[in-house]
Amino acid sequence: MTCPALARSGPPLVDGHGRRVSYLRVSVTDRCDLRCTYCMAERMTFLPRRDLLTLEELDRLCSAFVERGVRRIRLTGGEPLVRRDVMRLLGSLSRHLDTGALDELTLTTNGTLLASRARDLAACGVRRINVSLDTLDPDRYRAITRRGDLSQVLDGLDAAQAAGLSVKLNVVALRDCNEDEFEDLIRFAHGRGMDLTLIEVMPLGDVGAERADQYLPLDVVRRRLARRFTLEPLAYRSAGPARYVRVAETGGRLGFIAPLTHSFCEGCNRVRVTCTGLLYTCLGHEQGRDLRAALRGSEADVPLQAAIDDAIANKPRGHDFIIGRSGGSAVARHMSVTGG
């Protein structure tokens, strides 16, 4: 895959509320080798492969955003490492790191394939990754993921750190499931020099479980942790929505992403594109803008940039997440479709 390097030539992307968009999250596939209980239904129907953007189209789309001032790109899924030849896409996008047009190229992964891919990721210019890991108990891991092998993820973490990648663990807080493990997970992550972020369940898609039964407010979790640890507020911010504290006893950073108890929308700098080319300017809204038609309808990027501009101008002020016992979810699409 060969594409020319781009310098920013268009105006920056600023939404109707004055927020500058500098962070793009791109799903490269809706497929995953796990079926996590908070993310997917056990029997998923995946998109036909012909509906997915090609690697060349994904490259062109990402580059159009870089041209408009996006500084960080994160590849997501599903599980991005199950996408065939995804390393070719990463290798091509790394040219924007070389020119300085992009500050960071990274991805979120479940870690199952990381042992064999970590060195390749580092070679493509990836310096930091997020790994989803909700438990350190093998039986519980298999129950949460409905099929996973914890040892594969632990091997992946070893390989990632050996390759020089900085790792942050993402832990979804699940009521009556893993809430007894947070202290152990913190000590595990910080003992290996990794940050850890706790995340509230997000009501996306029908996963065959009642969201209200899964939901554990992070303000409750934080109060519990404060009885065991000294939590010191930090000014540190990553590119995402997490708010961080330093755990005095471990010396490590602990993040909280709490879209339901503490909305982070006022400073949102992110948009998401699905593997089929739908641009979502808010994870918590159903409305998406079709970029695939603009990509395939013209070799010039003028229609694509016009579609991006229109979507960004209409980016909502905040999300519509709500969890209740209505039998449904706030947003019908699954997390795996949008990519977190």
Q: Is 124 annotated as a binding residue?
A: no
Q: Is 272 annotated as a binding residue?
A: yes
Instruction: Supply the pLDDT for residue 338.
Output: 63
Please state at what angle helix 114-123 crosses helix 86-93, rounded to 10 degrees.
20
Q: Which of 53, 160, 62, 130 is nearest to 102 (CA)?
A: 62
Q: Say yes or no to pLDDT of 329 above 50.
A: no
- Tens-place pLDDT, residues 7-34: 556 899 999 989 999 999 999 999 999 9
Q: Is 261 annotated as a binding residue?
A: no
Q: Say yes or no to pLDDT of 117 above 80.
A: yes
Q: Is 268 annotated as a binding residue?
A: yes
Q: Say yes or no to pLDDT of 328 above 50.
A: no
Strand partners, 160: none
Q: Is 32 annotated as a binding residue?
A: yes
Q: Is 315 annotated as a binding residue?
A: no
Question: What are the sequence ranges of the domains in the chain?
Answer: 23-338
Q: Determine what percent of the chain is predicted with pLDDT higher than 90.
A: 72
Q: Is 202 annotated as a binding residue?
A: yes
pTM: predicted TM-score of the whole model, two decimal places:
0.88
Q: Say yes or no to pLDDT of 209 above 90.
A: no
Q: Is 194 annotated as a binding residue?
A: no
Mean pLDDT over 212-217 rounds to 84
CA distance 48 to 30: 10
Collapsed DSSP state (helix, strand, coil) of residue 336: helix
Instruction: Supply the pLDDT for residue 251.
Output: 98
- Tens-place pLDDT, residues 253-285: 999 998 766 555 666 889 999 999 999 998 767
Q: Is 282 annotated as a binding residue?
A: yes
Q: Is 3 annotated as a binding residue?
A: no
Q: Is 39 annotated as a binding residue?
A: yes
Pick one of 3.20.20.70, 3.40.630.30, 3.30.1510.10, 3.40.640.10 as the CATH number of 23-338.
3.20.20.70
